[in-house]
Structure 1
Amino acid sequence: MAIERAGAVTFKGNPVTLIGEEVKVGDTAKDFTVLAQGLQPYSLNDGKGTVHLISVVPSIDTGVCDAQTRRFNEEASKLPNVEVLTVSVDLPFAQARWCGAAGIENVKMLSDHRDLSFGEAFGVAIKELRLLTRAIFVLDKDNKVTYVEYVPEVTNHPDYEKAIAAAKEAAEK
């Protein structure tokens, strides 16, 4: 049975429960399996040896999620040796449609709709909504967590500058 963290964040001011343990700096990231846009499985081990900036959004079809993904897509081209992943529970088809319309080419979109494997491994699955809470994780080449931000209010933006600086730092090591 997965750990539940009641009131860990709020959604539109209301406390919600996150499923999974809270990830902390220094942890080794747990593996997960999600779906890429072509419906092929993607796991953390597929990107082994690469620095990852993982941007987690509830749904790509909302204003803040759209802005967050566009921002990291823009920054991805300036982050050599960093793979930028965006994870949501949107269907891969919806992610592909949105990316095509938005011109997103530098971010790898991943769907956790099937199993909430990522959501539970990183402690971001919202029990009440079956969505993922907004969060940012940076993993070094050995999948050690070097930066974590669970955005306290799901509808707010993350701290882009801190996440980008953490990804640059991890890539330089």
Structure 2
Amino acid sequence: MMPVKFKGNQVKLSGKELNVGDKAPEITLIGKDLSAIKLGGSQGKYQVINVVPSLDTGVCATQTRKFNEEAASLKNATVFVVSMDLPFAQGRFCSTEGIENLIVASDFKNKEFGQKYGVLLADSPLEGLLTRAVFVVDLEGKIVYKEICEEITQEPDYKSPIGVIK
């Protein structure tokens, strides 16, 4: 697994590491209205899976706002933001921030996304949350882009994942 740091200190990730070319596991998460949200697998369109530790932090909020802006221009893609935040908090964040172009999904129930995508933090002060990452899944359900941010407190690359689709 790729080394990840939180404020300069090494952290461990748990779960199965996925790489470009792997099938994206289909997972059911919880939407802000408590509905079931399916992501991964083959959905007949691109999926941008934007993973953040918590929407209540500045970097995560910025990352989500930027992907929301980018999502508006994507014709054949669904953009998700996945975190461990409770669905109610995700809903509040979206209404406060005017987030309308992406789907928020919570992995709080059984941490299945974190485990199957290998992005669950196994230690550090953020233990139990998801690390900062971006995955792009193609129309057939294959991972065509992956970035696990080396330093959790820093934003991901925005151009590359969108470039894979455009």
TM-score, normalization by structure 2: 0.93
Alignment map for 1:93-112 (pairs within 5 Å)? 93-112=88-107
Q: Deviations over 1:142-169 (max 9, x none)?
A: 110000000011111101111111132x
Q: Give the superposition deviation at 1:13.
A: 1.2
Q: Give the superposition deviation at 1:48.
A: 1.7
Q: Deviations over 1:31-76 (max 9, x none)?
A: 2121011111222268721210110000001111000000000010
Aligned partner of 1:147 among 135, 145, 166: 145
Q: Give the superposition deviation at 1:115.
A: 0.7
- SS in structure 2 at match of 1:98: helix
Alignment map for 1:51-62 (pairs within 5 Å)? 51-62=46-57
Contact 1:51 1:82 in 2 (8 A): yes
Contact 1:53 1:167 in 2 (8 A): no
Q: Residue in 1 aligned with 2:161?
A: 163
Alignment-mate amino acid for residue 74 of structure 1:
E
Contact 2:40 2:47 in 1 (8 A): no
The question of 1:39 aligning with 2:39 is answered: no
Q: Residue in 2 aligned with 1:21?
A: 16
- SS in structure 1 at match of 2:115: helix
Q: Following the alignment from structure 2 to structure 1, what is the Cα–Cα distance between the partners of residues 42 and 140?
A: 10
Seq. identity, %:
47
Q: Following the alignment from structure 1 to structure 2, what is the Cα–Cα distance between the partners of residues 13 and 122?
A: 23
Q: Give the superposition deviation at 1:86.
A: 0.3
Q: Residue in 1 aligned with 2:86?
A: 91
- SS in structure 2 at match of 1:78: coil
Q: Following the alignment from structure 2 to structure 1, what is the Cα–Cα distance between the partners of residues 51 and 79?
A: 11
Q: Following the alignment from structure 2 to structure 1, what is the Cα–Cα distance between the partners of residues 3 and 30?
A: 26
Q: Residue in 1 aligned with 2:44?
A: 49
Alignment-mate amino acid for residue 91 of structure 2:
A
Q: Give the superposition deviation at 1:17.
A: 1.1
- SS in structure 1 at match of 2:70: helix
Alignment-mate amino acid for residue 165 of structure 2:
A
Q: Following the alignment from structure 1 to structure 2, what is the Cα–Cα distance between the partners of residues 27 and 96?
A: 31
Q: Following the alignment from structure 1 to structure 2, what is the Cα–Cα distance between the partners of residues 46 and 25?
A: 14
